[in-house]
């Protein structure tokens, strides 16, 4: 598949995540999109005449060629949504960007991915939480995701590097700059301890409207989002809402009712938008990360179910090999859509083959 065509698709003004995916699904590939005639393109859901004209005139290729030279010069990986190297968790989100630019060495599909977000005006309380949380998470060897912003984001990355935990910063601009510029030394360390990701091409400045787009990537890349401190109107709450919309787990640390920078966390907990967390053990229990829950035991019950359907056998084999899995990962490993998978899982639970754990995790009995 042509990388130039992939980049060109993401260069077309007015073609966002959803329309780009519609175009790919309708035409088959970026190359075929640019070969298609206007009469054919008019059948694509959500497309307008101006966008069709831009595609037909191939105006995006000049910008795409410039970006291709940039990523080749600086050894940046281009991750396209239809390819295997694209993050599998994010691929399941309906508004996932079709193209990501990644510089670093992190495994974006590792077993446990956690986003840690919060206020830009962190307090001693938030700083202590970050330090304790990241030190405790080291035993789980997760990937830590945040936005390299002031406050909690910076602390999450910093503590991850300190504890030799892989960490990735999601940027609201191109990879030709670091914002805030004061965080450049930490960002450079992260390149060998994780990396940096953006959907924006070089030359893109950190405009206000880019940050909510950045937040959806933070939420979509992760199994769980942890809010350490957040104002009621903070960007961290946007990330938490996005994580909920993607059916991901959300946790929030509570604060005193008089603390401005805990008002958002308290609101998430009060409205059942986040699990309350006071210590690492809370996270481990709800997500099924405790040692006893993670031990793989081959059940003699499985051999008794000789009448399993082919799909039930496939699910059983995946869980036998992988241990406990969230439903998103089960869908990826089996190739079954989540709507169908949920019905099959329900039947398997009733047969006593598997059981559900907190956090939409499933394992064999």
What CATH number is associated with residue 323?
1.10.10.10
Residues with Cβ within 8 Å of 290's Cβ and at least 6 positions away in sequence, in order, are 284
Write out the two tokens for 358: 């907190």
Give the DSSP letter of residue 365. -
Residues 164 and 234 in one domain: yes
What is the domain-level CATH number for residue 220?
3.40.50.450
Residues 316 and 343 in one domain: yes
Rounded Cα distance between 260 and 257, Å, is 8
Residues 92 and 206 in one domain: no
Number of domains in the chain: 3
Residues 241 and 142 in one domain: yes
Write out the two tokens for 24: 């790919």
| Sheet strand arrangement including 249-252 | 77-80, 99-104, 194-198, 166-170, 143-146, 113-117, 224-227, 249-252, 275-276
Q: What is the pLDDT of residue 17?
A: 87
Residues 192 and 221 in one domain: yes
List alpha helices for 203-297, DSSP H. Answer: 210-221, 235-245, 263-270, 280-287, 291-294
Rounded Cα distance between 130 and 158, Å, is 9
pLDDT along the chain (365 residues), means of 10: 90 88 92 90 90 87 95 97 92 92 96 96 96 97 97 98 98 97 98 97 96 96 96 92 93 94 95 95 86 45 63 89 82 87 89 78 83
Rounded Cα distance between 194 and 170, Å, is 11
Answer for the pair 334, 315: CB distance below 8 angstroms, yes or no. Answer: yes
Answer for the pair 114, 91: CB distance below 8 angstroms, yes or no. Answer: no
Q: What is the pLDDT of residue 349?
A: 86
Residues 232 and 352 in one domain: no
pTM attached to this predicted model: 0.81
Answer for the pair 235, 229: CB distance below 8 angstroms, yes or no. Answer: no
Q: What is the pLDDT of residue 306?
A: 53
Answer for the pair 47, 73: CB distance below 8 angstroms, yes or no. Answer: no
Cα torsion through 171, 174, 177, 181, rounded to 10: -30
Q: What is the pLDDT of residue 1?
A: 61
Rounded Cα distance between 301 and 353, Å, is 7
Q: What is the pLDDT of residue 116?
A: 98
What is the domain extent for residue 63? 3-104
């Amino acid at each position: 598949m042509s990388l130039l065509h992939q980049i060109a698709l993401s260069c077309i003004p007015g073609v966002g995540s959803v329309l780009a995916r519609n175009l790919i699904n309708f035409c088959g590939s970026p190359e075929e999109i640019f070969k298609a005639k206007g009469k054919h393109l008019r059948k694509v859901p959500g497309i307008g005449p101006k966008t069709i004209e831009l595609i037909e005139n191939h105006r995006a290729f000049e910008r795409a060629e410039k970006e291709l030279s940039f990523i080749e010069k600086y050894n940046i990986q281009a991750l396209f949504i239809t390819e295997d190297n694209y993050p599998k968790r994010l691929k399941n989100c309906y508004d996932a960007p079709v193209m990501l630019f990644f510089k670093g060495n992190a495994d974006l599909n590792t077993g446990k991915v956690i986003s840690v977000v919060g206020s830009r005006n962190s307090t001693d309380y938030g700083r202590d939480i970050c330090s304790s949380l990241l030190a405790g998470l080291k035993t789980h060897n997760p990937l830590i995701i945040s936005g390299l912003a002031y406050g909690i984001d910076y602390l999450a990355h910093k503590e991850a590097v300190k504890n030799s935990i892989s960490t990735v910063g999601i940027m609201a601009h191109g990879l030709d700059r670091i914002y805030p510029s004061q965080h450049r030394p930490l960002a450079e360390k992260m390149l060998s301890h994780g990396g940096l990701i953006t959907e924006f091409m070089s030359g893109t400045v950190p405009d206000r409207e880019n940050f909510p787009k950045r937040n959806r990537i933070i939420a979509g890349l992760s199994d769980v989002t942890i809010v350490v401190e957040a104002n009621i109107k903070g960007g961290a709450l946007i990330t938490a809402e996005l994580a909920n919309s993607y059916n991901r787990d959300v946790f929030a640390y509570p604060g005193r009712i008089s603390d401005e920078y805990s008002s958002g966390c308290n609101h998430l907990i009060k409205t059942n938008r986040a699990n309350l967390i006071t210590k690492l053990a809370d996270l481990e229990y709800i997500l099924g990360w405790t040692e006893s829950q993670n031990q793989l035991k081959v059940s003699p019950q499985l051999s008794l179910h000789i009448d399993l359907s082919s799909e039930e056998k496939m699910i059983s084999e995946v869980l036998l090999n992988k241990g406990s899995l969230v439903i998103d990962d089960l869908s990826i490993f089996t190739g079954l859509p989540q709507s169908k998978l949920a019905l099959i899982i329900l039947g398997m639970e009733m047969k006593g083959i598997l059981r559900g754990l907190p956090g939409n995790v499933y394992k064999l009995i």
